[in-house]
């Protein structure tokens, strides 16, 4: 810049540095993983979430989220390309800097092609992030497989009377969200009222004398009659639905051919004896057994080690010794489990076991507990209730809540792993109070004395870290002192 008057060149500098821009391709390739990791830990760890939130509040962040800042490097190379094109457009062809600027543009354009497809994905993710915030953290929105097709205001006709209610639609490639506006300028602006999967959905025009521009959307979950603002708006919505349905069906055909290919590759006779070809994660958006859509939180992808199908946790909750893997136990889908063992998959028993978790008698747990006793309990500012609370030795990271010490079924359970503990006194809380919180979930407890509170916190602070050995050590130390592990009488 000091020599600009005599040597107004930038092409030579860019030509020298442009090759380094290819390094951005590595950042772009890892971007999905980085976003997914950030999302997981923000939801899993309240402490991590608080740190991120505090950083984002700083003036230097300009009221933008960490995700928005992470998008900036992805967009940097295309910006250099656009600026250099603009520079060359305004630069005379006989300018001394022209040839070097032209070479720099070629190098930068090559670097930009490495990330152009990723840029489109990032723009889509940025939009999904905005929708995620508008919906107040609705799960399944920020997912690389999701794509927003159309959004807009619409009226929903009531099924029982002639009134029309204001709604806002988000049409994605795999689902429709029908939302109620909240009229907030910042933060959550909509509440999801209805969620409909695209699979099996149908759309058709309707005739309504009282309400023009209407059409009907019917799916597995429910049927809606909607009123557009104009005939053109109605046609555009119908066209968007039809194209989305058509694309979804074509993808399903591709998935079916992938299933067929996998079936042909590993025959029933070879099942477990030969390693299968794994169906790639990006080839499917739904479980290949139960057809439920995958998401990053409650229904994640797993591979059956016998047939290679991509299935959800519910359909892969079985293990079998596989011959090709030295007869080691491997995770398999329910169908392969049935074929390889000759027994019916334990889906019903598994579901019954999960339902029966709450049906273990309080007395059974209390007799072999790490700690148990009465505590006052409140959740989400609800009225306080006196509950019999138990942390059993066999499940030392789960807190069971019963109405009484002899109840045969728990009211609820709290898996303590990953929770944060806070016992800071608050004016609105009763004495000897402490809280467990994780993401948006907050559980408040009040002990009968400071000593009882101390004993509970000794155990819970180990339980939230998953340190079972230390929990049992603390339990033994408590038992050697005056025991809180004997049921209190009313």
pTM for the complete prediction? 0.40
Instruction: Report pLDDT for 481.
Output: 59
Rg over alpha carbons for the chain, rounded to the nearest Å, is: 29
Report pLDDT digits (tens) over 439-476. Answer: 778 899 999 999 999 999 999 998 888 877 888 888 88
Instruction: Report pLDDT for 296.
Output: 62
Give CA–CA dist 88/371, Å, rounded.
Answer: 74
Residue ranges of the chain that CATH labels 2.30.29.30 = 144-237, 360-480
pLDDT over 70 percentage in the chain: 84
Report whether pLDDT(338) > 90: no
CATH of the domain spanning 144-237: 2.30.29.30
Instruction: Report pLDDT for 34.
Output: 87
Q: Which residue has the higher pLDDT, 116 or 153?
A: 153
Residue ranges of the chain that CATH labels 1.20.900.10 = 11-131
Count of CA atoms in the C-beta half-sphere (13 A) of 297: 14
pLDDT over 90 percentage in the chain: 19
CATH fold of the domain at 266-353: Herpes Virus-1 (3.30.40)
Instruction: Report pLDDT for 482.
Output: 43
How does strand 318-322 pair with strand 190-197?
Answer: unpaired
Instruction: Report pLDDT for 145.
Output: 77
Give CA–CA dist 141/128, Å, rounded.
Answer: 6
Q: Which residue has the higher pLDDT, 29 or 349?
A: 29
What number of residues does the chain have? 490
Report pLDDT digits (tens) over 350-377. Answer: 444 444 455 566 666 666 788 888 999 9
Report whether pLDDT(428) > 80: yes
Report whether pLDDT(189) > 90: no
Residue ranges of the chain that CATH labels 3.30.40.10 = 266-353
Report whether pLDDT(235) > 90: yes
CATH architecture, domain defined by 11-131: Up-down Bundle (1.20)
Instruction: Report pLDDT for 167.
Output: 92
Report pLDDT digits (tens) over 56-74. Answer: 888 888 888 888 888 888 7
* One-character DSSP codes across 237-288: HHHHHHHHHHHHHHHHHHHHHHHHHHHHHS-TTTTTTSPPPPPPGGG-SB-T
Instruction: Report pLDDT for 452.
Output: 92
Which letter, b or e, does each residue of 354-391 get, where b requires 16 or more Cβ atoms within 10 Å of its Cβ?
eeeeeebebeebbeebbbbbbbbbbeeeeebeebbbbb
Q: Long-range pairs for 101-107 at CB < 8 Å and ≥24 separation?
A: 101/10, 101/11, 101/14, 102/11, 103/11, 103/15, 104/11, 104/14, 104/15, 104/18, 105/81, 107/15, 107/18, 107/19, 107/21
CATH fold of the domain at 360-480: PH-domain like (2.30.29)
Q: Which residue has the higher pLDDT, 439 or 17?
A: 17
Q: How large is the average pLDDT for residues 253-273?
A: 63
Q: Which residue has the higher pLDDT, 253 or 309?
A: 309
Q: Which range, of 335-344, 349-358, 378-387, averages the lowest pLDDT? A: 349-358
Place of tokens 């040597």: 7
Give CA–CA dist 325/309, Å, rounded.
Answer: 17
Q: Long-range pairs for 257-265 at CB < 8 Å and ≥24 separation?
A: 258/283, 258/284, 259/288, 259/309, 262/307, 262/308, 262/309, 263/307, 265/308
Report pLDDT digits (tens) over 76-122. Answer: 888 888 898 999 999 888 888 888 888 888 888 877 766 666 666 76
**Residue 353 Rama label (left phi>0; alpha psi -120 to 50; beta):** alpha
Instruction: Report pLDDT for 486.
Output: 39
Instruction: Report pLDDT for 178.
Output: 92
The pLDDT confidence band at residue 317, using thresholds 50, 70 and 90, is: confident
Burial class (CB in 10 A: 0-12, 13-18, 19+), 204: exposed
Instruction: Report pLDDT for 115.
Output: 60
């Amino acid at each position: 810049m000091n020599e600009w008057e005599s040597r107004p060149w930038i092409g030579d500098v860019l030509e020298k540095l442009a090759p380094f821009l290819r390094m951005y391709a590595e950042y772009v390739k890892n971007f999905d993983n980085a976003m997914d990791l950030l999302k997981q830990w923000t939801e899993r760890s309240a402490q991590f979430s608080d740190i991120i939130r505090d950083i984002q509040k700083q003036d230097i962040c300009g009221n933008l989220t960490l995700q928005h800042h992470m998008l900036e490097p992805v967009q940097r190379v295309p910006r250099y390309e656009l600026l250099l094109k603009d520079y060359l457009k305004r630069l005379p062809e006989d300018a001394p800097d022209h040839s070097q600027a032209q070479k720099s543009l070629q190098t930068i354009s090559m670097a930009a092609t490495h990330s152009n497809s990723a840029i489109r994905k990032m723009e889509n993710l940025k939009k999904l992030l905005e929708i995620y915030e508008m919906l107040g953290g609705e799960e399944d929105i920020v997912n690389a497989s999701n794509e927003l097709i159309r959004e807009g205001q619409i009226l929903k006709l009531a099924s029982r009377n002639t009134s029309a209610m204001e709604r806002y639609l988000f049409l994605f490639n795999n689902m429709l969200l029908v939302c109620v506006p909240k009229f907030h300028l910042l933060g959550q602006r909509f509440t999801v009222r209805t969620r409909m999967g695209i699979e099996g959905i149908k759309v058709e025009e309707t005739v309504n004398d009282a309400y023009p521009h209407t059409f009907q959307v019917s799916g597995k979950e429910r049927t809606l009659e909607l009123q557009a603002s104009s005939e053109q708006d109605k046609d555009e919505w119908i066209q968007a639905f039809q194209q989305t349905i058509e694309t979804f069906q074509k993808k399903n055909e591709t998935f079916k051919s992938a299933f067929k290919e996998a079936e042909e590759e590993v025959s029933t006779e070879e099942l477990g004896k030969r390693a299968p070809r794994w169906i790639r994660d990006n080839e499917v958006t739904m479980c290949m057994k139960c057809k439920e859509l995958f998401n990053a939180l409650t229904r994640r992808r797993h591979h059956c080690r016998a047939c290679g199908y991509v299935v959800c946790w519910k359909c892969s909750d079985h293990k079998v010794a596989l011959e090709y893997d030295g007869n080691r136990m491997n995770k398999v889908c329910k169908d392969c489990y049935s074929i390889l063992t000759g027994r019916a998959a334990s889906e019903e028993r598994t579901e019954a076991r999960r339902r029966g978790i709450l049906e273990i008698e309080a007395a059974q747990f209390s007799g072999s507990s790490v700690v148990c006793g009465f505590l006052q309990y409140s959740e989400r500012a609800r009225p306080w209730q006196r509950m019999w609370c138990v942390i059993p030795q066999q499940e030392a990271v789960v807190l069971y809540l019963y109405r009484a010490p002899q109840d045969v079924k728990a009211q609820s359970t709290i898996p303590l792993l990953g929770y944060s503990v806070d016992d800071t006194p608050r004016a609105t809380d009763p004495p000897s109070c402490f809280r467990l919180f994780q993401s948006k979930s907050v559980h408040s407890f009040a002990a009968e004395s400071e000593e009882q509170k101390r004993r509970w916190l000794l155990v819970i602070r180990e339980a939230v870290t998953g340190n079972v050995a230390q929990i049992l050590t603390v339990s033994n130390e408590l038992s050697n002192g005056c025991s809180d592990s004997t049921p209190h009488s009313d």
